[in-house]
Amino acid sequence: MDSPSLHPWQRPALDLLRFALKTSTSKTPIDQLVSFLLLDVCVETTLRTYLSLPDGVAGSDMKYFDRRKYANGNFHALADGVTASAKKLINKTELQHARYYHSVRNQLYHQRSVMTVAPDDVRAYAFVAAALMSKLLNIDLSGVLGEQLDTPAATIDQESFFVLKQEMPKDIARFRSSVEQIIEKVEPKLVYPSTISKLAYIATCTTATSFPQGLKELRELIQNSITDSDIRSWFLGLLSDDVEYDDKQVLENSSFIMELGHDHISLYSLVIGLFFLPMDEIGKDSIDRYEDISFVADDDYSIMGVYNVSCGLLKLWLHQDKILSGDLGLLQRTLDVHKKLKLAIQGLENLLQQSLSKNPL
């Protein structure tokens, strides 16, 4: 498709995709990294552009005013907005792939000195970007990538994929069970049904209007439910205590902690990981309220990250019955995370057999 035939709002995303693909032809690590980051910007641009399209162009039942609210948010808000407004255009799997590769981008950012990305991940993200651009922005991308998006991958043993789909849910269940048993021993009030329900309620209080009240309720819940003084003071010291005057990063970190209540196992595993079972020397003393703490959601830095990433990856595969050509990098990533999940389970089960101590094992 020639540039003159494009609408002005179609050009930025397509130019980014072409530039990323051109950069990816060089196999040097730095060019692969730059290509991957360009693809992430391409996908974000695609989502934001779609949410900003006029009603007659977007092909959505959701009105422009409502879509525009999502368009002003971060990557995950954009994905949520497209999920809600473009149900007729795309399926959830495509957006889940986009969320996954954006999380890889975040992981690359936090690794800093060892920032590398596999060529397979670059190629797979290009397929994701192209699919979203084609369906959301109606851009003809035939020939741009050089092959079809749904070509079965001949170099992968499909049977290993089916085994992964069978084993991973069982291991996630083992992880959850071990985490709950440990927290029940350490902080029994945190496993009360009323506490879990309250955490889930607070997790919804992240809007501008309800955030202060939700944060206040979380601080009260921690004060009343956590008996260990070190754990309690760590949480309270991390959370904002003055929404009007606290640093922006402190507020963002507080929001990050609040949202963990959507799945109480995430919050439990954060405590266990930082106080009892640290990864890569990332413990409670590594977390500063004035720095972005969201990196602990990545699987390289905490067992909470291992758990969250495992759950997210499993969702990608649940409704897929074969591996496609664009999935090879993602499958290898899943296999690597699954190994980390098994190691985390071993650590948790060993911890259960010992007298619990906040000294790193």
Reported as a single tens digit per residue, the pLDDT across 28-59 is: 888 988 999 999 999 999 999 999 988 878 78
| CB-count burial class (<10 Å; 0-12, 13-18, 19+) for 277 | buried
Residue 282's pLDDT band (cuts 50, 70, 90):
confident
The CA distance from 84 to 72, in Å, is: 15
Is residue 284 within 8 Å of residue 234, measured between CB atoms? yes
The CA distance from 203 to 195, in Å, is: 12
Residue 219's pLDDT band (cuts 50, 70, 90):
very high
The CA distance from 308 to 312, in Å, is: 6
The CA distance from 256 to 251, in Å, is: 9
Is residue 178 within 8 Å of residue 345, measured between CB atoms? yes
Is residue 279 within 8 Å of residue 302, measured between CB atoms? yes
The CA distance from 56 to 36, in Å, is: 33
For tokens 């473009």, what's the residue? 86
Q: Which amino acid is at 60?
A: S
Residue 148's pLDDT band (cuts 50, 70, 90):
very low
pLDDT for residue 237 is more than 60: yes
pLDDT of res. 206: 66
Residue 238's pLDDT band (cuts 50, 70, 90):
very high
The CA distance from 267 to 143, in Å, is: 46
pLDDT for residue 325 is more than 90: no
pLDDT for residue 145 is more than 70: no
| CB-count burial class (<10 Å; 0-12, 13-18, 19+) for 143 | exposed
Mean pLDDT value of segment 299-312? 90
pLDDT of res. 155: 53
pLDDT of res. 142: 67
Is residue 168 within 8 Å of residue 310, measured between CB atoms? yes
Query: Cβ of 12: how many Cβ atoms within 10 Å?
Result: 17
* CATH ID of 3-136, from 3.40.50, 1.10.10, 1.20.120, 2.60.120: 1.20.120
Is residue 356 within 8 Å of residue 185, measured between CB atoms? yes
Percentage of the chain beyond pLDDT 90 is 40
User: Which segments of the chain belong to CATH 1.20.120?
Assistant: 3-136
CA atoms within 13 A on the CB side of 311: 15
The CA distance from 351 to 239, in Å, is: 28
Q: Which amino acid is at 288?
A: D
Residue 152's pLDDT band (cuts 50, 70, 90):
very low
pLDDT for residue 99 is more than 50: yes
